[in-house]
Chains A and B, each alone.
Chain A
Amino acid sequence: MAILLSGEWYDLRDLANPIRELIDGLGLPDAADYVLWSLIAALAIVTWLVVSVIAFIWIERRLVALMQNRIGPNRVGPAGLLQPIADAIKLLLKEAITTRDADRLLFWLAPIIVFIPTIVVFAVVPFGESMVLADLNVGVLFVIAVAGIMTPAIFIAGWSSNNKYALLAAMRTIAMLISYEIVQVLALLSAVLFIGSMNLGAFVSWQDEYNTWLIFIMPLPVVAYIIAGAVEINRSPMDLSEAESELAAGYHTEYGGIKFGFFYQAEYMAGFAVAATVTTLFLGGWTLWGLEEWIPGWIIFLGKLYAVFFLYIWSRATLPRLRIDQLMAFAWKFMLPLMLVNVLVIGAEVVVWEETGASRNIALPAIGALNATLAVILVVGWARVLGHGSGRQRGYRATLTQEIGKIYYTGAEAS
C-alpha cells in the first residue's frame, strides 16, 4: 500500500507492486506463486480484451455510420456509448436455442473453441517492456498454431447446426483458411528469416535497435499478412463464411443469444490478435523511436494495434465481397507465388548482408528500397502475367444511342 500512495508511479504496471507485496506477505510456495501470478496476468489480458471489444463494437458502428452518412447508435447512454452493453445484456438474457437436429455437443462446443485461441494468442504478445505473459522463444509458431484452431471451430459450428447455409459457409471456411494460412506462414517466414528469431520480443528489440520498422524493409509480406488476416477474421472483402447477402449469416446462422455473442466477440478478438501480430512483427511493437521513454509502451502498442484494426473496419465499409473461386485463385495463383519469391529474395538478402558485412546504415535502406521496388514489380508484373488489367481499363460506360430497335450485342464477354 505504501507504494500505491507514495506517488512514485510510472504507469499502470506499477499496480503490480502492491499486489507483489501482498502475495509475498502470504508466504506461498514457489509453484503456487507462479500460478497465481499467471492467473492475474491472464485476467488482466482478458479484461483488456473484453473492454476493447465492447468499446470497438461502439467505435466500429459509429465509424461505419460516419462512412455511410448515418448517425449510428446514439440512443442508449451519452452518444450511444452504452449500446454495446445493452446488446450484451440482450444477448445474455435471450434463450439459448439449440435446433432439433443439431449435433448438441458440437453445437455447444463450437462457440467455446472459437473463443479460446483468440485470447490465448495474447499470451506471447509483448504489450510493453517486459509486459509479456509467456516469453516464448517460438512465439511466431505459437501464434500461427493457435490461430489455426479457429478453422476447425468454425467448421464444427457450421457442421453441427445442421443448416445448409451454415454447411456451405463451413466448407468455404475450410477451403479459405487452409489456403490463406499458407500465405500467412510464408509472410511470417520472411520476417523470421530476416530477424533470425521467433520470439516476438526479439522482433520488437530488433526494430528498436535498428531504429526502423520491418514494414519499411519488407512491405509485401505485411500487406499479404493483413489480407490473409482479413480472411482469418472474416472481414470484408473476404467475409465469405458469413456472406450476409448470400448465406444469411453463414456458419452462425443457427446461433442465437450468448452463443452468437461468443462468435461475435471472438471475431473482434481475432481481429485484435491479427492486429497485435502485425503491430509486433512489422510495426515496431511497443516502441516508437525513443518516444517510449515518455509514453508508456502499452499505450503505443495499443495505439498501433487499434490503427491496424481500423484498416479492417475501413475495408468492411468500402469493399464488396469476392466470390469463393476468385478468393482461392487469389491465394494460390497470386499471393502464394509472390510469397515464395519473397522468401527467396529475403533469404538471399540476409546471406548477402552477412557475407559483405555492410554497415546497417547502408544495408537496411538498400534492402528496403530493393524490396519495395521488387514488391511493385512483382505485384504489377504477376497481375499482368495472369491477365489482369486495372479496373480503370476494364470498366466501361453504356453505349448511348437514339436508334430504336438496333441490336448492339457483341457477346465479347459471354462465358
Chain B
Amino acid sequence: MTLKSEPFVVNVGPQHPSTHGVFRLRLTLDGEKIIDADMVMGYLHRSMEKLAEERTYTQNIPFTDRTDYLAAMTGNLAYVMAVEKLMNIEVPERAQFLRTIMAELQRIASHSMAIGIFANDCGAWQTPVMHMFRDREKILDLFEMACGARLTLNYMRIGGVSRDIPDEWMPQAHKLLKDLPNRFAEYEDLLLSNEIIIARSRGIGVLTPEQAIAYSVSGPMLRGSGVAWDIRKADPYAAYDKLDFDIAVGTNGDAYDRFVIRLAELRQSLRILEQALDMMPTGPVHERLGTSTVQPGTQPIAPLVFRPPVGEAYARIESPRGELGYYIVSDGGPSPFRFHIRSPSFINLTPLKQMAIGSTIADAIVILGSVDIVVGEVDR
C-alpha cells in the first residue's frame, strides 16, 4: 500500500526564535527533508542607502552603526574610510591604531555572539550564549569608556576617531586581554569536541570553494570553504600591515568549519590586540580638517559639513561577517549622491538555498546559524 503524500510548506519566520531577527525562510518539506527553500528578505528594510543621500557625510556615521548592530565599530570604520578615500585624508597614526584595536575588540564581541547563537541553533539551551555574554560585556564596557555608548557606538570620525581613550582604558584593556585566553580555552574545551555539536554540524551546508567564490561570499563563510582570503591581509587598512596574525581556514566547507574558524579568529584577534596595544603611538587622534564652527577651542572634531570633490570611492574592510564595503559617489555637494553598502550578511545569505536543499529542517537552522547574519545588515 502506498500512502499519498505531498510537499508541505513551512514558513520559518519572520517571527521565529532562530531567524536572528525578522528574516523569513519558506521551506518546502517532504517529511523533515527540505526540497525547496526560498528566502524572503526586507522585513527590516529601513532604506538606509536612500536616507544617506539626504544627510551630510558626518550625519551618516550613526547610520552605519545601525546596519550591523552587532559590529558597529567595523561599520563606522568602513564608511569613514570610504569618505577619507574620497577626500584624500591622511589619518594620524594613533587613530589608525585605535581603529584597529576597536575593530578587533568588536570582532571578538561579534564572534562570541555568533558562536553562542550557533550553539543555540544546535539546540543548546542558552548556556553558551550566556557564557559568551561575559566577554562581550567586558568589551562593551571598554567601548563605553572610550565613547560613551555600548551598542551603537558612533566612535569613528572622518579623519580619525571622535576622542582619545581615557587614561584608565589601557589597564582595563590589558586586564581583559589577560583573562580572555582562559575563557577561549574554556569555550574550545566545551564546544570544539562536543559530540552533539560535531554530529549536528559536520558535513552540513557544504559549500565548495568554487561555489563560495561564485556566490562571492566572504569572511568566515569563504574561509570555511578553504579559501585563504582576508581583507586585513589582502588589502591592509588601518594598522593591519604592521601587525602579525594568521588567517584561519577550514578544509571541508561545512557548518562546523565556519564555527571552528570563528573560534580560531578569537585567538587571532587577541594576538592582534596584544601587539596593537603595545605598539600604539602617542599623538593626535584626529586630523584637523578646516576649522570647526561648532565647538571652537575644544578638541579638534570634524566640521559638520564636508564637500568632497566630485568622484567616487569604495572602501572595504574585513568585518566580523566578511567583506564590508561602502561605495560613495560625490557630486561635490554636502551629502553623497549615491551611497551603497556591500553588506556581507546579505551576500553570505544567498547560497542558503543551495546549502539547505537536501538537508532537514533542523539542519537548515544550523546552517543559518553558521552563516551568522545580522538582519539589520541584510535588509539595510
- The docked-state distance in angstroms from the alpha carbon of A326 to that of B360 is 12
- Binary contact readout A396-415 vs B (1 if CB under 8 angstroms, 0 otherwise): 11111111111111111111
* CB of A387 closer than 8 Å to a CB of B: no
Cα–Cα, bound, A324→B365 (Å): 14
In residues 140-197 of chain A, which contact B (Cβ within 8 Å)? 164-165, 168, 171-172
- CA–CA, A412 to B236, complex, Å? 32
How distant is B102 from chain A, measured CB to nearest CB, in Å? 24
Partner of B199, one of A67, A323, A397: A323
Cβ contact of A398, chosen from B9, B202, B203, B263, cutoff 8 A: B263
Identity of the chain A residue whose Cβ is nearest the Cβ of B245 in the assembled complex: A402
B203 pairs with A243, CB closer than 8 A: no
Given contacts A248-B17, A323-B360, A323-B363, is CB(A317)–CB(B250) below 8 Å?
no
Within 8 Å by CB of B252, from A67, A248, A390, A412, lies A412
B183 to chain A, nearest CB (A): 12
Check if A399 sits within 8 Å of B121, measured CB to CB: no
Interface 0/1 of B16-43, CB less than 8 Å to A: 1110000000000101100000000000
CA distance A68 to B131 in the complex (A): 6
Closest to A239 in B: B123
Q: Once the chains are docked, how many angstroms separate the CA of A395 from the CA of B20? A: 26
Contacts of B29 in A (CB 8 A): 168
User: How many residues of A are in contact with the other chain, CB < 8 A?
Assistant: 55
CA distance in complex: A75, B264 (Å): 40
Q: Does A44 contact B (CB under 8 A)?
A: no
A87 at the interface (CB under 8 A from B): no
Are B228 and A245 interface neighbours, CB within 8 A? no
Q: Is A401's CB under 8 angstroms from B228's CB?
A: yes
What is the interface size of chain B, counting residues whose CB is below 8 A from a CB of the partner? Answer: 67
A403 to B203, CA, bound (A): 26
* Contact assessment for A414 and B254 in the assembled complex, using a CB-CB cutoff below 8 Å: yes
Partner of B202, one of A64, A164, A394: A394
**Chain B contacts for A317, CB-based, 8 A:** 125, 127
- Would B226 and A409 count as touching, CB distance under 8 A? yes
- Complex contact A246–B365 (CB within 8 A): yes
Asked if residues A243 and B192 are in contact (CB atoms below 8 Å), the reply is no
> B249 contacts A322, CB within 8 Å?
no
A406 touching B192, Cβ below 8 Å: no
B193 CB-CB contact with A under 8 Å: yes
B77 within 8 A of A: no
Chain B residues with Cβ below 8 Å from A319 are: 123-124, 196
Tell me if B125 and A410 are in contact (CB < 8 A).
no
Check A320 against B119 for contact (C-beta < 8 Å).
yes
Q: Residue B194 at the A interface, CB < 8 A?
A: yes
- The answer to whether B229 and A245 touch across the interface, beta carbons within 8 angstroms, is no
Contact string against A for B residues 94-132, beta-carbon threshold 8 Å, 1 for contact and 0 otherwise? 000000000000000000000000011111111100110
A318 in contact (CB, < 8 A): yes
Whether A400 pairs with B247 at a CB distance below 8 angstroms is yes
Output the least CB separation between B125 and chain A (Å): 6
Could you tell me if A396 and B260 are in contact, using CB atoms closer than 8 angstroms?
A: yes
- A69 on the B face (CB < 8 A): yes
In the complex the two chains form, is A398's CB within 8 Å of B18's CB? Answer: no
Query: Any chain A CB within 8 A of the CB of B195?
Result: yes
* Chain A hits for B196, CB < 8 A: 237, 319-322
Which A residues lie within 8 Å of B264 (CB)? 397-398, 400
Partner of A321, one of B123, B202, B268: B123
Question: A399: which of B125, B233, B250 is its contact (CB, 8 Å)?
Answer: B250
Is B233's CB under 8 angstroms from A402's CB? yes
Return chain A residues, CB-CB under 8 Å to B363. Answer: 323
Q: Mark B189-214, 1 if CB is under 8 A from A, else 0.
A: 00011111111101110101100000
Q: How near does chain A come to B324, taking the closest CB pair, in angstroms?
A: 18
Bound state CA distance, A239 and B18, in angstroms? 16
Q: Which residue of B lies closest to A244 (CB)?
A: B17
Least CB separation from B224: chain A residue: A398
B193 touching A69, Cβ below 8 Å: no
- Which of A165, A400, A403, A412 is the most central at the interface, judged by chain B CB atoms within 10 Å of its CB? A400
Which residues on B sit within 8 Å (CB–CB) of A405? Answer: 227-229, 234
**Is A70 an interface residue when CB atoms closer than 8 A count as contact?**
yes
Residues of A close to B209: CB separation below 8 A: 407, 409
- A329 CB to closest chain B CB (Å) equals 10
In Å, the complex CA distance between A351 and B249 comes to: 59
A392 at the interface (CB under 8 A from B): yes
A395 touches B125 (CB 8 A): no
Partner of A245, one of B123, B192, B202: B123
Query: B260 near A414 (CB under 8 angstroms)?
Result: no
A interface, CB within 8 angstroms of B: 64, 67-70, 164-165, 168, 171-172, 236-237, 239, 243-248, 316-326, 390-392, 394-415
Q: Give 9 nearest A-B pairs by CB, closest first.
A: A321-B123, A409-B226, A395-B193, A68-B130, A398-B248, A398-B264, A400-B246, A391-B195, A413-B252
